[in-house]
């Protein structure tokens, strides 16, 4: 069965600077290499889901510029339905400046542009598409008010809602009530709950916090430590990471979430196997440069899983 996944999210063009190390405040350093790549958390997650076999549609916005045209074209070439991507005449296509050091670590500066100018009006008639959808996935690079409205429509259609609270910021309380699965990394989870993530008891406390606010399923990504999950019935576990030598970790989380949405059963009965697949996809992505270009195809993931 092919999962039908709707992504509500950001579309960016990434400028990537490779450096030996990050500069100190006020310091000028040399850049070893500069490149451009399609990106944005939403776009990355959509491509990850599509490359792992899901039928993917996208709700988002780009500017009336060349970057916007190229991004829509890139998504379409990756088998993503782009019919609900709006063209904003007043704001430019989103962009990000990404600095990557020799250890594969990165820091990122993002210009929201058309992503942040999205409005609830863009969701007109969305319920018709949601009626044939298994999952809707959103992040925090587009307005929370738009995500909340979409999640409310999804709930009416019994569509599973997945929230990736990145970049971490204060959430609308009502948005939590309409989220079925939350997928933060350990830093984002700690910021949202006020509970440091450092061991299993603290992760269970984080999941308890989210459940108290309406979210029944929690998945916390822990980088090289793996992924911790807690399901609605209280089942929990740690799925270890695959050990690799990372080149660029930019797309790690987005690849994980997109791949997970392609594999997770709509009845949520296969958390561990879906997480294992998504972990393997993420481990392949961090071994290549650039966000979207490094996202693997399903056959590559299956081969790596053996």
Asked if residue 242 lies in contact with residue 279, where contact means CB atoms within 8 angstroms, the answer is yes
Pairing verdict, β 227-230 and 160-163: unpaired
Q: Is 254 annotated as a binding residue?
A: yes
Set 67, 88, 180, 254: catalytic member: 254
Q: Is 125 annotated as a binding residue?
A: no
Asked if residue 94 lies in contact with residue 112, where contact means CB atoms within 8 angstroms, the answer is yes
Q: Is 294 annotated as a binding residue?
A: yes
Asked if residue 94 lies in contact with residue 12, where contact means CB atoms within 8 angstroms, the answer is yes
Within 8 A by CB and 6+ apart from 248, the residues are: 16, 100, 104, 106, 286, 288, 289, 290, 294
Q: Is 214 annotated as a binding residue?
A: no
Is-catalytic flag, 134? no
- Residue 53 Cα distances to 56, 120, 241, 247, 249, angstroms: 9, 29, 22, 25, 23
The CA distance from 95 to 236, in Å, is: 37
State the residue for tokens 């793996």: 226
Q: Is 285 annotated as a binding residue?
A: yes
Q: Is 44 annotated as a binding residue?
A: yes
Q: Is 233 annotated as a binding residue?
A: no
Q: Is 28 annotated as a binding residue?
A: no
Crossing angle of helices 298-305 and 271-285, rounded to 10°: 110
Asked if residue 102 lies in contact with residue 133, where contact means CB atoms within 8 angstroms, the answer is no
Sign (positive/negative) of CA torsion 253, 258, 263, 266?
A: positive
Q: Is 99 annotated as a binding residue?
A: no
Q: Is 13 annotated as a binding residue?
A: yes
Q: Is 206 annotated as a binding residue?
A: no
Q: Is 303 annotated as a binding residue?
A: no
Q: Which residues are annotated as a binding site?
A: 12-14, 40-44, 141, 185, 221-226, 248, 250, 253-254, 285, 288, 290, 294
Active centre residues (catalytic)? 254
Q: Which residues are annotated as a binding site for substrate?
A: 12-14, 40-44, 141, 254
Q: Which residues are annotated as a binding site for ATP?
A: 185, 221-226, 253-254
Q: Which residues are annotated as a binding site for K(+)?
A: 248, 250, 285, 288, 290, 294
């Amino acid at each position: 069965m092919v999962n039908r996944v709707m992504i509500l999210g950001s579309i960016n063009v990434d400028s990537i600077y490779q450096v030996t190390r990050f500069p100190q405040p006020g310091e000028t350093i040399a850049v070893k290499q500069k490149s451009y790549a399609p990106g944005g958390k939403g776009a990355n997650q959509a491509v990850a889901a599509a490359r792992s076999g899901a039928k993917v549609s996208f709700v988002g916005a780009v500017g009336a510029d060349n970057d916007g045209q190229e991004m829509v074209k890139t998504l379409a070439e990756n088998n993503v339905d782009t019919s609900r991507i709006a063209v904003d005449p007043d704001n430019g296509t989103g962009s990000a400046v990404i600095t990557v050091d020799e250890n594969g670590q990165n820091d990122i500066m993002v210009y929201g542009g058309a992503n942040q100018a999205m409005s609830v009006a863009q969701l007109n008639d969305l319920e018709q598409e949601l009626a044939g959808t298994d999952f809707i996935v959103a992040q925090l690079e587009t307005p929370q008010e738009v995500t909340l409205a979409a999640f409310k429509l999804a709930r009416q259609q019994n569509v599973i809602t997945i929230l990736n609270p990145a970049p971490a910021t204060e959430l609308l309380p009502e948005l939590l009530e309409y989220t079925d699965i939350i997928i933060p990394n350990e830093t984002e989870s700690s910021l949202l709950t006020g509970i440091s993530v450092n061991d299993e008891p603290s992760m269970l406390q984080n999941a308890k916090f989210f459940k108290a606010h309406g979210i029944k399923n929690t998945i916390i990504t822990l980088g090289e430590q793996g992924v911790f999950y807690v399901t609605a019935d209280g089942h929990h576990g740690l799925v270890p990471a695959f050990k690799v030598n990372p080149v660029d970790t930019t797309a790690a989380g987005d690849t994980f979430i997109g791949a997970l949405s392609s594999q997770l059963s709509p009845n949520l009965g296969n958390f561990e196997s879906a997480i294992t697949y998504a972990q393997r996809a993420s481990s392949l992505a961090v071994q290549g440069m650039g966000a979207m270009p490094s996202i693997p195809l399903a056959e590559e993931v299956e081969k790596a899983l053996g």
